[in-house]
Amino acid sequence: MSWKKMDTPIEGCYLIENPVFQDLRGEFSETYKLSVFRELGLPEMVQDNHLLTKRGGIRAMHWQVGEYAQAKLINVIQGKIFDVVYDLRQDSASYMQHATFELNESSQLLFVPAGCAHGFQGLSDNSIVHYKTDREYNAGSQRAFLWNDPEAGINWPVQDALVSEKDAQSAPLSEALKNG
């Protein structure tokens, strides 16, 4: 089995199927390989992040702007999440559209292009998510919009949401876009 890049409704956002090898001991898979990413036309990743999220926990809706705009490669290590990609790139065919994905430890990887807001909600008691970025995090270039803004139209599946104070105080989508 070889690596496969599959289109999603968001331009430049892909589900990536990576080979999984099984034997009597269990499984082995590569979750990132620079040479393969180059062949697939995807950027080199430079930072790794590891998150544990409780059921209902929302980490949303963030993106970075300018020279620190980040592409992300999402990999669920344990549990299940409801993942959202919101296209904020004005030159994109899918501008102001969003797509949702239910990801778990058996699903494909998700590649999120720079310029898209990204967030997710834990669907399991504890979900462990590992993601890579193609730019290092820079606090001054981070932007966010309100996770439950009706204008955004995201239907989060767990109604008892756990949200950080920072995410709860984010601006509505239209206001966040005005502020860069």
Q: What is the tens place of the pLDDT at every residue in 41-99?
A: 999 999 999 999 999 999 989 999 999 999 999 999 999 999 999 999 999 999 999 99
3-state class (DSSP) for residue 51: strand
Q: Which residues are catalytic?
A: 62, 131
Question: Whole domain around residue 117: which residue ranges?
Answer: 4-178
Q: State the CATH number of the domain containing residue 40.
A: 2.60.120.10
Structure token pair of residue 166: 């920072």
What's the pLDDT tens digit per position in 111-152?
A: 999 999 999 999 999 999 999 999 999 999 999 999 999 999
Residues in contact with 107: Cβ distance below 8 Å, sequence separation at least 6, in sequence order: 15, 76, 101
3 state DSSP class of 174: helix
Count of the separate structural domains present in the chain: 1
The one-letter code for the residue type at 179 is N
Cα–Cα distances in angstroms (integers) from residue 27 to residues 24, 32, 128, 135, in the given order: 8, 16, 18, 30
